[in-house]
Amino acid sequence: MPARSDRIKKGLERVPHRALMYATGIPGGEMKKPFIGVATSFTDLIPGHIGMRDLERFIEKGVHTGGGYPLLFGLPGICDGIAMGHRGMHYSLPSRELIADMIESVAEAHAFDGMILLTNCDKITPGMLMAAARLNIPTIMVTAGPMMTGRYRGRRTSFIRNTFEAMGRFRAGEITKEELDSCEKGACPGAGSCQGLYTANTMNCLTEVMGMSLPWCGTALANSAEKRRIAFDSGVRIVELIKKGVTPRKIMTRAAFENAIRADLALGGSSNTVLHLLAIANEAGVKLPLETFDVLSRTTPHITSLEPVGEYYMEDLHWAGGIGAILSRLKGVVKDNPTVSGKRIKTIISEVDYIDDKVIKPLDRAYHAEGGIAVLKGNIAPLGAVVKQSGVSDKMMRFTGKARVFDSEEEAMKAILGKTIRPGQVLVIRYEGPKGGPGMREMLAPTATLMGMGLGESVALITDGRFSGGTRGPCVGHISPEAMEGGPIALVKDGDTIELDIPARRLELKVDDRELQRRRQNWKTPEPKIKDGWLGRYAKAVTSANTGAVLK
C-alpha cells in the first residue's frame, strides 16, 4: 500500500515538492522513510509546556531509531490559570477546536504517514485527540507530565489550594501577607501540569487509559528520565504503528471511551472531561450520550483522594502504581481493548505487580460507592448538568436555598469579595455557556474564593458555564440548554427557591409552570457579549455543553 507521504515525494511531477523539502535540509536517503509529523505545543507561556524542548529531542531520537524521519511543527497553547478571570478565558475552550483544525491542516497539506502529538494542558490534549480521531492516521500522544509539589515550612503546596483558595483565606484574615506571598512564589516550583487531578492531568490519565499513549505516560513526572524514555519509545513505536496500519479509530473504540469514563469516575477527576470525551467521541464516530457518564458512575466506586478534593497528588498516584493500578482495581468492569503500545488493556492489567493501598483504595474500602461525576436533570437543566460529586461534602449533597442571580462571572465575584453572599443561598451564574460566554469560561475563582471564605458548606453554585478541575464543593455546571439559547436558567430570579439533590440526580427551580411561562414570554435574547473576531464566529457555530460544545 502506498505511503501517505508518497503524494508529496514520489514521481516526476513531484520534482518541485522535493526541491522544497531538500531546501529544509532533508538528506536524500531519508526521503524513503516514513514522514512523522511531530506536533509540539512548546511555549514559554505555560508551566506544563516549558520543558517540551527536551522531550522533542527524545522523540526525534526515537523516530530516527525506529526508521522514520521526524518533522516538527508548532501549536498554540493557553494556560487556563493565567487566562482565568479576564477576557482571556473566553478563548480557552474554543482553542480546542483551533488546535484540532490546525493539526488537520498541517497533516493533510504535508501528507504525514504518522504523528506524535506532544501535549500537556487543559484544551491542548483533547484538541490533539480530536485531530487524531478525525484524521485517523497512526498517532501516539506524549503528555509532558505533572509538576512536583512545592514546599512551605514542612508542608506540601500546590496551585489551587495555595493560590486561589489562599486569596479567600487572606481576605478572611486566616493567613498573613507573608504566608500569601510564600504561596504565590512557591506553589508551582517548576515545569509540569498542575499537581492535582485538575483537567490537564485528568485528560492525560484518560489518554493513557484509552490506549493513545504508552504505559505510565499519564502520570510520569515532568523533567524525569522516565518521561524522556517514554518520549523516545513513542518515537520508535510510531514507525511500527505505520507498518502495521494501526490507526486511532482502531484504538478509540466505544470500549476505550467507557474505560476512560470508568477511570475518570474512579479517580474523581475533572468535570471538564465530560465535555472533552464527548467531543473526541464525536470525531471518532462513536456514539456517547451524556447519560453514559451517570450510568457508569452508579457502578464505579471512587477509590482515590487526590488534590483538589483529597490529600494526595499526581506524584503519589504515579508511585502508587499509576494508571495500570487504577485499571487493575477496575478489572472486573474494564473492557479489553488495543493500545498504541501493542499490548492490550487486559495484558497491561496482568503486569501490574504493586499497588499502594493508601493512595489507590481497594474496591471494598472505596471513598464513595459511586464515581466522581454525576449528571443531574430537572426543570432548570432539562438536557442535563454535571457535578463533581466526589468534591461535595455529605452535608451539601442535598441543599435547598434562595437564588442570587448574576449574568456574568465578574458580577458574581464582586458580590463574593464584597461579602454580600450569605449562607443558604444558591449562586446562579448564567450567560457563560458555549454561546453566551462565549467560550464557556471556567469558574475557578468564584468557587475557590467561596471555599477560602468558609462558605463551601453553606452556599451552592450553579452555572451554564464550566468549572476548573480544581473546583470542589457543591458546584453544578454545564447546565443545558444554556441561558443564551433560552434555557430555563435564563428565567431564574433573585429569591427563587432552588433544590439540589445529587443522590436523586435532581436540580429543580421551585417555581410553577405558569409563572415560568409568563417569564418566558417576557424574555428576549440579549446582545452577544463579544461580536467580533474568532469568538463572534465561534458563538454562532458552537453547540450545547451536553453535546461536548463542538462546532457544527
Q: One of 95, 234, 468, 544 is an active-site residue; which one? A: 468
From CA 550, how far away is CA 97, in angstroms rounded?
8
In the chain, what are the helix, strand and coil shares in percent, each to the nearest 5?
Answer: 45, 15, 40
Q: Residue 532, CB half-sphere, CA atoms under 13 Å: how many? A: 0
CA distances (Å), origin 511, targets 145, 384, 464, 481, 484 = 48, 19, 19, 18, 20
Neighbours of 336 (CB within 10 A): 11
Q: Is 105 a catalytic residue?
A: no
Q: What single letter denotes the amino acid at residue 243?
A: K
> 71: which strand partners?
37
Cα–Cα–Cα angle for 300, 305, 310, nearest 5°?
140
Q: With the CA atoms of 189, 61, 133 and 246 taken in that order, what torsion angle do they form, in degrees rounded to the nearest 10?
A: -140
**C-alpha dihedral sign at 396, 400, 403, 407:** positive
Burial class (CB in 10 A: 0-12, 13-18, 19+), 208: buried
Q: Residues with Cβ < 8 Å from 273, sequence gap 6 or more?
A: 199, 202, 203, 206, 260, 264, 373
Cell of 19: 526541491
**Is there a contact between 72 and 416 (Cβ–Cβ < 8 Å)?**
no
Q: What single letter denotes the amino acid at residue 221?
A: L
Nearest to 491 by CA among 524, 465, 460: 524
Helix, coil or strand: residue 533: helix
Catalytic residues: 468
